[in-house]
């Protein structure tokens, strides 16, 4: 009997109070910074289409933050959120990338949509609705909505990835990542102050179109048009 008991004890994982304490401290870190994570997710959600669920962003962020809590060393990093923030944000962007936002076919449709919107805006100073675009392009309404949703999601990606999304040849692919970012910064330096400010507020300060509109006292529709033209100008310069 006693041998059997000893055999069972050898096969069981011993209870380690220290390990349990460490795990609780790691879990407490995640709980302590949940408000910061939720604020990040909701901030990102403000720049995304309505059909993207903020809870999905939060879930992705929590999963990443749990992993990071296991690696966090307070001796090297005195603030957990400072250690985790960029990585958590990156995990949310990775999730958005995984939605396959810009297929090659969608890119062509987006260009057609952009051309139509530009023409319409010149005449009416506002953007047309999806029904108008569907009729003009002879596409199903659902397809127009799908592509415009993908387009809106792609706007949340870093600006260097924006350039790559619209690239028709392999010009940008031949440019190393760091070199590409340097070239983009050079182009941005040549922009007018207002145009540069729009890029800075949207991509670096992570403001949404409504907030930028209030700061610059320009309509959201106009901000959107300027944004698209700026991206087109950047692509042309880089190519």
- The conformation of residue 77, written as its DSSP 8-state character, comes to -
- Please identify which residue in the block is written with the tokens 């047309």: 128
Split at pLDDT 50, 70, 90, the class of 167 is low
Is pLDDT above 80 for 174?
A: no
| Paired tokens of 235 | 């692509």
Is pLDDT above 80 for 173?
A: no
Is pLDDT above 50 for 103?
A: yes
Question: Which ranges constitute the DSSP H helices of the chain?
Answer: 2-11, 17-32, 34-45, 54-71, 80-97, 104-124, 130-137, 141-154, 159-165, 177-189, 193-199, 209-216, 220-238
CA 187/CA 48 separation, integer angstroms:
26
Is pLDDT above 50 for 83?
A: yes
Q: Do 121 and 225 contact (CB within 8 A), yes or no? A: yes
pLDDT at 53: 93
| Vertex 91 angle, CA 85 and 92, to 5° | 95
CA nearest 205: which of 19, 16, 47, 18?
A: 47
pLDDT at 70: 87
Task: Please state, for a pLDDT cut of 70, what percent of the chain lies above it.
Answer: 81
pLDDT in tens, 56-78: 999 999 999 999 988 887 777 77
Average pLDDT value for the chain: 80
Q: Do 101 and 150 contact (CB within 8 A), yes or no? A: yes
- pLDDT higher at 128 or 27: 128
What is the arithmetic mean of pLDDT over 40-51?
90
Other Cβ atoms within 10 Å of 74 Cβ, number: 11
pLDDT in tens, 8-38: 434 444 466 657 766 777 778 889 999 999 9
Residues 6+ apart with CB under 8 A from 202: 155, 209, 212, 227
pLDDT in tens, 135-161: 999 999 999 988 888 888 888 887 777
């Amino acid at each position: 009997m006693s041998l059997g008991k000893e055999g069972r004890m050898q096969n069981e994982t011993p209870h380690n109070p220290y390990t349990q304490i460490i795990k609780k401290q790691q879990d407490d870190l995640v709980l302590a910074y949940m408000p910061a994570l939720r604020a990040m997710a909701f901030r990102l959600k403000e720049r995304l289409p309505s059909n993207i669920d903020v809870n999905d962003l939060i879930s992705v962020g929590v999963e990443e933050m749990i992993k990071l809590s296991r690696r966090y060393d307070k001796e090297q990093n005195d603030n957990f959120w400072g250690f985790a923030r960029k990585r958590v944000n990156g995990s949310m962007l990775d999730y958005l990338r995984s939605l396959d936002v810009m297929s090659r076919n969608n890119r062509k449709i987006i260009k057609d949509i952009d051309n139509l919107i530009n023409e319409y805006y010149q005449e009416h100073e506002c953007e047309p609705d999806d029904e108008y675009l569907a009729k003009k392009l002879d596409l199903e309404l659902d397809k127009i909505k799908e592509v415009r949703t993908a387009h809106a999601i792609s706007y949340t990606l870093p600006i260097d990835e924006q350039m790559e999304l619209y690239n028709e040849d392999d010009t940008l692919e031949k440019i190393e990542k760091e070199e590409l970012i340097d070239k983009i910064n050079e182009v941005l330096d040549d922009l007018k102050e207002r145009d540069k400010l729009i890029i800075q507020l949207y991509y670096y300060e992570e403001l949404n179109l409504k907030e930028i509109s209030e700061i610059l006292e320009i309509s959201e529709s106009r901000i959107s048009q300027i944004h698209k033209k700026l991206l087109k100008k950047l692509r042309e310069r880089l190519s």
